Each structure stands twice: as structure tokens, then as C-alpha cells.
Amino acid sequence: MTDLLRVTGAVREFGPDAGLFGLDLTVAPGEIHALAGLNGAGKTTLMRAVLGMLRPTSGTVHLGGIALNDLPAEAWGRVGHLVDHPFAYPELSTRQNLELAARLRRVAADQVAQIVTTGMADLGITRYAAIRAARLSQGNRQRLGLTAALQHRPRLVVLDEPTNALDPAGVIALREVLLARAATGTGVLVSSHHLDEVARIAHRISVLNHGQIVGALDPATPDLERAFFHLLHADDEERGR
Ligand SMILES: Nc1ncnc2c1ncn2[C@@H]1O[C@H](COP(=O)(O)OP(=O)(O)OP(=O)(O)O)[C@@H](O)[C@H]1O
């Protein structure tokens, strides 16, 4: 089966210790692949490279077997992402923002209302449908961004620290949506600092350190935190740090 995402040898150096340094990664259909790593390890940079927001100086990114440069515009309608801060027009309501997001993802006009209604219910923001984005709390703004990333039922989902600012109910709602989507073949690349939460949803956890994947964690490992630091320390020792 073709991987929904394949990154091969991605390099993008910002400095001797910052960027991506020959990174390989895949996401298969139905797989939730989590990235864990300390601040500055390169998780966001990797996601930005995957989404064409920055260009690796070498290496390749393929989505559904097609190189990023050759990807037809409509293929982006099968991708959903939330990287950096959730974007929303402050003067538009939650529903209006989501309608726009759906149209940008090429959802047919006669399906937009239904998709937005279902998306808001999935992430628990229906009661804020008529509220202007400028008035939303940080967590509800995050839910709006997540709904925009997920409502059009993309085949590949890329989420950078999606539980940021979410309350426990939001964390559970997101978990349920991601698990349900993966069960129907969606591939998910997700970064998080919350190893316990990652362990609940991920099929695979890759650990990034200094722009490289230095190992994998088994989500069923009882003491994930310990295993995570063990991998990091072993890598740092190898690098002589
Ligand atoms: N556009 C840029 N110009 C220069 N340096 C950059 C740029 N983007 C990222 N970096 C640097 O690359 C490194 C990796 O940053 P990145 O944001 O990918 O880390 P991260 O793993 O997502 O960290 P965090 O967990 O803090 O979000 C950092 O040292 C960062 O300062």
C-alpha cells in the first residue's frame, strides 16, 4: 500500500544544531504516527517541510506517492493540518470561518453546511457557532483550528501539538476523532509533548533529537518518559554532548 506520507533524507539547516539533518519518516493509511522531542528538536520544521511551507535543501517529500513539487492543487483538499497558531478571521463567526475553510478545501457548496455542523459537534464547539473568532477563548480557538483541519475528512492529517490549550474534554474529543478517522484509513502525523496522551492514540512514536529521528518508543511501554530520556541521552552521548 502506498504511504500517505514519505519523507526521505530531508535536510534543512538553520544552524549547526538547528533544522533537519537527513530525516526519514512515513505515515501509512490508518496509522497515527507521533513525533516526540524536546523544544527545538525540529518537529515543527519537519511538519512545515511536509506541508510545503518550507523547502528542504535536499531530500524528498511525497504525499500519496507524488512528489510535493508535482502535487496537483486539488490534492491539498485531501490534507488537513494545524501547524503554528490556528488561523481565523477575527471578525467572522466560528461557523463562517469553518465554512470558508471548507470551501478552501474544495468541499462542494451543497455539503459545506453539513460538514461544518458535524465538525463543530465532533470538537465540541457547536455552542460557539455564532461567536466571532476574536471573542473565543484560547482553547476554543484551538478547537476551531482543529475543526478546520479535520472537518473535510482529509486522508492525511498533520497536527503540531494539537492539545495545546485544550481542556480535558477537548483532549478526549480530539482523541476520539483521530482514532475514529484512523480506523477508516486516514493517516495522522502528530507532535506532542504529552507522552501519556500520545501513548493512548499512536501506533508509532518517533523521537526527534537535533533534527534527526533517533529512535522509536513502543506506545505500550509502561514508563514512556524514562524510555524517552534514555533515547535522548544515548543520542547525546553518541554525539559527544
Ligand atoms: N525559519 C527559521 N530560521 C532560523 N531558525 C529556525 C527557523 N525555524 C526553526 N528554526 C530553528 O530550528 C530548530 C527547530 O525548531 P522547531 O520549531 O522545528 O522545533 P520544535 O521541535 O517544533 O520545538 P518546540 O517543541 O519548541 O515547538 C530551533 O532551534 C529553531 O530555533
Task: Evaluate if residue 114 carries a pLDDT over 70.
Answer: yes
Report pLDDT for 152. Answer: 97
d(CA 173, CA 171): 6
Report pLDDT for 222. Answer: 87
Helix (H) or strand (E) holding 2: none
Burial class for 57, CB neighbours closer than 10 Å (0-12, 13-18, 19+)? exposed
Residue type, position 58, single letter: S
Task: Evaluate if residue 35 carries a pLDDT over 80.
Answer: yes
Ligand 1 atom 3 nearest Cα: 14
| CATH assignment at residue 61 | 3.40.50.300
Q: Which atom of ligand 1 is nearest to the CA of 161?
A: 27
Report pLDDT for 241. Answer: 67
CA of 174 to the centre of ligand 1 (A): 25
pLDDT range class, residue 109, cuts 50, 70, 90: very high
- State how many domains the chain has: 1
pLDDT range class, residue 166, cuts 50, 70, 90: very high
Residue 39 Cβ contacting ligand 1 at under 6 Å: yes
* Structure ipTM: 0.97
Average pLDDT over residues 35-54: 95
Residue 41 Cβ contacting ligand 1 at under 6 Å: yes
Report pLDDT for 42. Answer: 94
State the virtual CA torsion across 47, 170, 127, 139 in degrees, nearest 10: -60
Ligand 1 atom 18 nearest Cα: 42
Report pLDDT for 24. Answer: 95
Ligand 1 atom 17 nearest Cα: 44
Task: Write out pLDDT tens, residues 177-194.
Answer: 999 999 999 999 999 999
Task: Write out pLDDT tens, residues 62-101.
Answer: 999 999 999 999 899 999 999 988 889 999 999 999 999 9
CA of 142 to the centre of ligand 1 (A): 21
Task: Evaluate if residue 140 carries a pLDDT over 80.
Answer: yes
Report pTM: 0.96
Closest CA to 46 of 64, 22, 80, 78: 22
Residue 123's domain comprises 5-239
> Up-side HSE of residue 206: CA atoms within 13 Å toward CB?
22
Average pLDDT value for the chain: 95
Task: Write out pLDDT tens, residues 208-238.
Answer: 999 999 999 999 998 999 999 999 999 988 8
